[in-house]
A and B are shown apart, each in its own frame.
Chain A
């Protein structure tokens, strides 16, 4: 690791720390229904949205109604995204004339699911598949919508703790509208122009034909990228306009645009911790969660950075410079861009998987085993290290419930969190969410490791599901594990070598996304409803304080232990064994063995 590399990580972290309070306080005011400094400029748009959509601003919803509204919003989002893709041939802004043949039903299903669940997993390459209109009207809109949903759920859960003896937890439509109009849209507009100033493209032209200096033909893809890039990062969506995502120079041309991207990813998740503290009337509670986030983030980033900078010993053996020198970055440069080098690639990989973003500026598939383990494990914790917009906060609140429950078991007292008794119902709901996601990851990974299909058939043309891997041995297993982890965790990054665009993978990964999103959300909303109905109890000498280092330690411990116990066996078969094999010089060739339970 170089000192400049460490300094860049520090600068990034300090930026997030500085912005947590002002934005967090702003959101607290906003979601408590107070006027903010943006109201004079944007209130008309909020009112117009209510009028057009038939929403009553002053009516609140019980958790079941809130959930129904969430499902309605998501299902219509899904249907529209699906239809726009399938109909792209008949819609405007399609200079490359992409038709429905580019998006068969299984792919359109996968993509629509992906953008409704804030996963933004991409089984397609944007520049060779989708028209500009679909990118804008279907995908950009869902980027906003799924992020707004995340914020809304987090706020509803906060209300569960902040209120007492109430049957309602807010109004879903109002929360979504306010999140979009006052938070996501204004920041996106500013960020989009900053991106364009750096060289991110924003046009509707057809692809440019180029005759290169040496006389070869090159065709350069174009499109309205910056407007999507801004919300892609801010909403922790992560679905790239181009196949190579944020490593593509048109999405992320300079170190500044790279810093801006990472800043946008952590901005809202960091600030929401302060919103929590403010709304429950004790900002120390918010900072404790920010502290737990920070500990886990910094551990991850330095493990990843150290592994990538140490590089691949097999490269060193054939004469590649793996130590950093003044004129070159050293380390493992396969799948990384020169302008980002090792430090910014490792930092980005950690940030994008801590949050449920999934944008990448380097190819995780080519990381060293331990460097790649960090992103994989980050997602498997449930993305509760800052996490997705909203998703990170409601995820960590789930772990808070578990942490105080475990602490309660140790001393034999009924656990409390933020003045609410944590009882059977809350713990059951938290466990349901944890188990559903773990099951989805492990079950689908196991299934795809053994299932076979007739070669050249409909379900999986390559034949056995493992024939879709781009790498063999433990790394190939990691590709499958990462795919279902990413889908279930609604992350969207990938060990992208795997050929995921076949009906089998499109459908199962799509299913994993639905499970990961809604079997996580709905139990939490149920818990929010149950919490809101409870009385607040005063803290006594016997109350376990949840704002000190002891609680931060307990919370981090709970996240790591739950993650480690659930996924350690699977990780041993992938990155951990690969690490030792790499150091013993073992290489793997791509030969698909005859396997399978139904072969």
Chain B
């Protein structure tokens, strides 16, 4: 029996050296020479400072930029903690959001939920909507929308807030991606955001349309994958061509 068992240890050690050390190091060495950019993460630099990766999503919240999809990676676009929400289709948390108490015993939003994202998306991009109660009821002292109030209103079982855009909005705009690092949005989602950006940057609408058409990546060979817009690349192009006047 031993002659069947001993080779197990010897072959295991040999394979560890060949497949666990030589193989990955050889691939690394050659890749670093042949595809240095891709092998190191397709990093984007401004001067000598790294400002991101072309293929890793990063957060944009300012009105003058295109916004990416909601993210569940860490506290949002954390590229050391990739993750989706893993919430299912009948999850109240996914649809309506949840709140929690923070350390100072203030009620804060724990998970924003699709309904709340729809509200923000409509308001930010001036998309017409119908609401069972005027949104002014859900504003704080400074006149901003109060997310905690909204989430609680959506979760009110007796008389929940019913909020709906008049025309359907692109699903990718208010749903989280799988990795939480999705670098893309759909062209329709980009289109819906153009009004806001054109206003802030003072760009004619026709030029915005052209810009999106230019930055839309079509399916490979016309078939593979979906048409998509890389948010970081598009925003960098915006900054180059139409800088925000201070």
Q: In the complex, what's the smallest C-beta–C-beta distance from B175 to chain A, in angstroms? A: 4
Whether the pair B49, A136 counts as a contact (CB closer than 8 A) is no
- Please name 24 pairs of A and B residues whose Cβ atoms are closer than 8 Å in the assembled complex, sorted by A: A4-B223, A54-B7, A61-B4, A141-B16, A172-B4, A193-B31, A193-B34, A202-B32, A207-B80, A213-B65, A214-B65, A219-B78, A224-B24, A315-B171, A321-B188, A322-B168, A329-B226, A330-B171, A362-B84, A365-B88, A366-B84, A471-B88, A581-B90, A582-B89
Given contacts A227-B28, A470-B87, contact A587 B92 (CB under 8 A): yes
- Is residue A159 within 8 Å, beta carbon to beta carbon, of the partner chain? no
Given contacts A76-B9, A369-B89, contact A259 B224 (CB under 8 A): yes
Whether the pair B28, A214 counts as a contact (CB closer than 8 A) is no
Whether the pair B181, A248 counts as a contact (CB closer than 8 A) is yes
Residues of A within 8 A of B239 (CB): 213
Residues of A within 8 A of B235 (CB): 213
Given contacts A207-B80, A321-B171, A328-B170, contact A338 B7 (CB under 8 A): no
Tell me the chain B residues, 125-141 only, with Cβ under 8 Å from chain A.
129
Per-residue interface assignment for chain A, residues 125 to 151, with 1 indicating a CB less than 8 Å from any chain B CB and 0 otherwise: 101100000001110110011000000
Cα A128 to Cα B5 with chains together (Å): 36
Tell me the chain B residues, 40-78 only, with Cβ under 8 Å from chain A.
40-43, 49-62, 65, 69, 73, 77-78
Told that A329-B172, A334-B176 touch, could you supply 6 new A-B pairs with CB distance under 8 A?
Answer: A11-B223, A214-B59, A314-B89, A319-B118, A334-B114, A497-B88
Q: Which of A244, A314, A319, A472 contacts B180 (CB 8 A)?
A: A244
With both beta carbons as reference points, the residue of chain B lying nearest to A258 in the complex is identified as B225
Whether the pair A336, B177 counts as a contact (CB closer than 8 A) is yes
Given contacts A315-B171, A365-B87, A495-B86, contact A140 B79 (CB under 8 A): no
Whether the pair A216, B38 counts as a contact (CB closer than 8 A) is no
Q: Which of A210, A366, A578 contacts B50 (CB 8 A)?
A: A210
Cα A327 to Cα B58 with chains together (Å): 22
Q: Is the interface of B mostly helix, strand, loop or mixed?
A: mixed
Whether the pair A218, B5 counts as a contact (CB closer than 8 A) is no
Q: Which of A255, A335, A336, A472 contacts B220 (CB 8 A)?
A: A255
Given contacts A80-B12, A213-B65, A247-B179, contact A340 B226 (CB under 8 A): yes
Tell me the chain A residues, 59-98 only, with Cβ under 8 Å from chain B.
61, 65, 68-69, 72-73, 75-77, 80
Q: Which of B51, B61, B82 has the most CB of A within 10 A?
A: B82
- Is residue A339 within 8 Å, beta carbon to beta carbon, of the partner chain? yes
Q: Which of A52, A176, A244, A372 has the most CB of B within 10 A?
A: A244
Residues of A within 8 A of B182 (CB): 249, 337-339
Per-residue interface assignment for chain B, residues 89 to 100, with 1 indicating a CB less than 8 Å from any chain A CB and 0 otherwise: 111111110000
Q: In the complex, what's the smallest C-beta–C-beta distance from B58 to chain A, in angstroms? A: 4
Per-residue interface assignment for chain A, residues 1 to 38, with 1 indicating a CB less than 8 Å from any chain B CB and 0 otherwise: 00010011001000000000000000000000000000
Q: In the complex, what's the smallest C-beta–C-beta distance from A208 to chain B, in angstroms? A: 6
Tell me the chain A residues, 183-225 only, with Cβ under 8 Å from chain B.
185, 188-189, 192-193, 196-205, 207-214, 216, 218-222, 224
Whether the pair B170, A125 counts as a contact (CB closer than 8 A) is no
- Is residue A344 within 8 Å, beta carbon to beta carbon, of the partner chain? yes
Cα A335 to Cα B87 with chains together (Å): 8
Residues of A within 8 A of B178 (CB): 244, 247, 335-337, 345, 360-363
With both beta carbons as reference points, the residue of chain B lying nearest to A75 in the complex is identified as B8
Q: Which of A7, A75, A209, A242 has the most CB of B within 10 A?
A: A242
- Is residue B151 within 8 Å, beta carbon to beta carbon, of the partner chain? no
Q: In the complex, what's the smallest C-beta–C-beta distance from B172 to chain A, in angstroms? A: 5
Given contacts A210-B51, A361-B178, contact A49 B11 (CB under 8 A): yes
Residues of B within 8 A of A471 (CB): 86-88, 90-91
Interface size on B, residues (CB 8 A): 111
With both beta carbons as reference points, the residue of chain B lying nearest to A219 in the complex is identified as B80
Q: Which of B7, B13, B51, B223 contacts A211 (CB 8 A)?
A: B51
Q: Which of A254, A335, A362, A589 has the most CB of B within 10 A?
A: A335
With both beta carbons as reference points, the residue of chain B lying nearest to A364 in the complex is identified as B86
Interface size on A, residues (CB 8 A): 139
Cα A138 to Cα B53 with chains together (Å): 29
Tell me the chain B residues, 145-202 only, with Cβ under 8 Å from chain A.
163-165, 168-172, 174-189, 191
Residues of B within 8 A of A138 (CB): 20
Given contacts A328-B188, A335-B176, contact A213 B58 (CB under 8 A): yes
Given contacts A212-B59, A587-B91, contact A320 B35 (CB under 8 A): no
Whether the pair A318, B118 counts as a contact (CB closer than 8 A) is yes
Q: Tally the A-B contacts, defined by beta carbons under 8 Å.
A: 423
Whether the pair A339, B226 counts as a contact (CB closer than 8 A) is yes
Q: In the complex, what's the smallest C-beta–C-beta distance from A369 to chain B, in angstroms? A: 6
Whether the pair B228, A338 counts as a contact (CB closer than 8 A) is yes
Residues of A within 8 A of B69 (CB): 338
Q: Which of B51, B93, B185 contacts A213 (CB 8 A)?
A: B51
Given contacts A69-B7, A497-B87, contact A341 B175 (CB under 8 A): no
With both beta carbons as reference points, the residue of chain B lying nearest to A49 in the complex is identified as B14
Cα A144 to Cα B43 with chains together (Å): 31
Whether the pair A214, B24 counts as a contact (CB closer than 8 A) is no
- Is residue A458 within 8 Å, beta carbon to beta carbon, of the partner chain? no
Cα A404 to Cα B23 with chains together (Å): 44
Residues of B within 8 A of A456 (CB): none
Q: In the complex, what's the smallest C-beta–C-beta distance from A367 to chain B, in angstroms? A: 8
Whether the pair A136, B186 counts as a contact (CB closer than 8 A) is no
- Is residue B15 within 8 Å, beta carbon to beta carbon, of the partner chain? yes
- Is residue B101 within 8 Å, beta carbon to beta carbon, of the partner chain? no
Q: In the complex, what's the smallest C-beta–C-beta distance from B1 to chain A, in angstroms? A: 6
Whether the pair B61, A247 counts as a contact (CB closer than 8 A) is no
Tell me the chain B residues, 87-125 only, with Cβ under 8 Å from chain A.
87-96, 114-115, 118
Q: In the complex, what's the smallest C-beta–C-beta distance from A162 to chain B, in angstroms? A: 23
Whether the pair A199, B55 counts as a contact (CB closer than 8 A) is yes
Tell me the chain A residues, 555-599 only, with Cβ under 8 Å from chain B.
578, 581-582, 586-590
Given contacts A125-B81, A137-B16, contact A203 B40 (CB under 8 A): yes
Cα A320 to Cα B167 with chains together (Å): 9
Cα A243 to Cα B74 with chains together (Å): 11
- Is residue A122 within 8 Å, beta carbon to beta carbon, of the partner chain? no
- Is residue B142 within 8 Å, beta carbon to beta carbon, of the partner chain? no
Residues of A within 8 A of B58 (CB): 210, 212-214, 216, 218
Whether the pair A69, B8 counts as a contact (CB closer than 8 A) is yes
Residues of B within 8 A of A244 (CB): 73, 82-84, 178-181
Residues of B within 8 A of A250 (CB): 41, 55-56
Given contacts A49-B11, A205-B40, contact A331 B91 (CB under 8 A): no
Cα A168 to Cα B19 with chains together (Å): 30
Whether the pair A200, B38 counts as a contact (CB closer than 8 A) is yes
Residues of B within 8 A of A327 (CB): 170, 186-189, 191, 227
Q: In the complex, what's the smallest C-beta–C-beta distance from B31 to chain A, in angstroms? A: 4
Q: Which of B23, B53, B86 contacts A497 (CB 8 A)?
A: B86
